[in-house]
Amino acid sequence: MTKPDSEWKWKELPEGTVMLEPGNADQYRTGDWKTLKPVLNKELCIHCGLCYIFCPDSSYNLDAEGYFIVNLFYCKGCGICAKECPTGAITMVVEEEEK
């Protein structure tokens, strides 16, 4: 786990402040930006994968049953998936405050 920028001491920085952990942005939660979250109605889903391919935040992953499931850790709630879903299987709903 990468520590936040405010915790680094100068001596710990690699030469040229090179970042050595490829893709470690995936430790960063962007999911708390959203006010709306997508909800999938599996009955309407045709497994086309448009939600997955059009997601700017790579939030959708294929599960074992063949559904593309949103990862709310990353989902910023833009609503593209719901808009582009050809069968209307995804709806955006207000996300309740998580305590």
Partner 1 sequence: MTEKLNVFAVRTLTQKEYFAPGHRACQGCAEALAVRLVAKALGRNVIIASATGCMEVVSSPIPFTAWRVPWFHVAFENAAAVASGIESGLKVLMRKGRLPRKKIVTIALAGDGGTADIGLQALSGALERGHDFIYICTDNEAYMNTGIQRSSSTPFGASTTTSPAGKVKMGQITWKKNMPAIAAAHNIPYVATACPSYPIDLVEKVKKAASIEGPAYLHILSVCPTGWRSAPELSIKLGRLAVETGIFPLYEVEHGKYHLSIDFPRLRPIKEYIRLQGRFRHLTEEMIGQIEERVRKEYAELKEKAAKGVAR
Partner 2 sequence: MGKRVGMEVSIAAAEAVKQANVDVISAYPITPQTHVVEHLSELVANGELDAEFFCVESEHSALSVCVGSEATGARSFTCTSSQGLALMSEITYIASALRLPIVMIIANRALSAPISIWNDHSDVMSIRDCGWIQFFAENGQDVYDHVFIAYRLAEDRNVLLPAIINMDGFTLSHVIEPIEFIEQEKIDRFLPPYQPVHRLHPDRPVSMGGIALPPIFTETKKAHEVALQGSMPKILETWKAFGDMTGRYYQPVETYKAEDAETIMVIMGSFGETASAAVDLMREEGRSVGLAKIRLWRPFPFEAFKQATLHAKQLVVIDRAISIGGPGGPVASEVKAALYGEPIRPVVYNFVAGLGGRDVSPSDFIKMVDKAEIEIEEGNREGYEIYGVRE
Q: Binding residues for partner 1, per CB under 8 A?
A: 2-5, 8, 17, 19, 21-30, 33-34, 47-50, 52-59, 61-62, 71, 73-74, 76-80, 82-84, 92
User: How open is the CA angle 6-97-30, to the nearest 5 degrees?
Assistant: 40
87 binds, among partner 1, partner 2, none (CB under 5 to 8 A by kind): none
**Residue 11: Cβ within 10 Å count:** 5
Q: Which does 33 bind (CB under 5 to 8 A by kind): partner 1, partner 2, none?
A: partner 1
| Residue among 52, 63, 58, 62 nearest 85 (CA) | 52
Under the rule (CB under 8 A), what is the footprint of partner 2?
Answer: 4-6, 8-11, 13-20, 22
Residue 67 CB, shortest distance to partner 1, in Å, is: 12
Nearest-5° Cα angle at 24, 20 to 30 = 150
